[in-house]
Amino acid sequence: GAVVSQHPSRVICKSGTSVKIECRSLDFQATTMFWYRQFPKQSLMLMATSNEGSKATYEQGVEKDKFLINHASLTLSTLTVTSAHPEDSSFYICSASPGDRSSYNEQFFGPGTRLTVL
């Protein structure tokens, strides 16, 4: 089946630094990638949708200058948490879809990245 990887799996950083998380589709081309955030014992919340070669679409309440998303190729999207603070500590999950909007319901998920900001 389709595989999506994330790197790193865990990261600990100091407050005020920036952290980059990579999401790769390993055996298919991902027209669209999605970034989710999960708080403990809560559901996954969609942060943004990114299409290769264009700007990401952010969900209401998500700061686009805080969470920078780049989808430079059909197999790679990156999420950069800028000037991270302890409240940004969370589990970040990406997913990838091989198709256009008509097939967004077909998403393949990465294993997630645990971010801890000290």
Which of 41, 54, 61, 87 binds another protein (CB under 8 A)? It is 41
The two tokens of residue 34 are 């999605």
The two tokens of residue 99 are 């198709």
Q: How far is the CB of 70 from another protein (least distance, A)?
A: 21
Which of 61, 65, 87, 105 binds another protein (CB under 8 A)? It is 105
Of 67 and 108, nearer to another protein (C-beta) is 108
Q: Which residues contact 84 (CB under 8 A, 6 or more apart)?
A: 13, 15, 16, 17, 18, 19, 115, 117
Which of 33, 69, 81, 93 binds another protein (CB under 8 A)? It is 93
Which of 58, 112, 113, 115 binds another protein (CB under 8 A)? It is 112
List the beta strands (DSSP E) in the chain.
4-7, 10-13, 19-25, 32-38, 44-51, 57-58, 67-73, 76-81, 90-97, 108-109, 113-117
Q: Under the rule (CB under 8 A), what is the footprint of another protein? A: 1, 4, 6, 9, 34, 36, 41-44, 46, 93, 95, 101, 104-105, 107-112
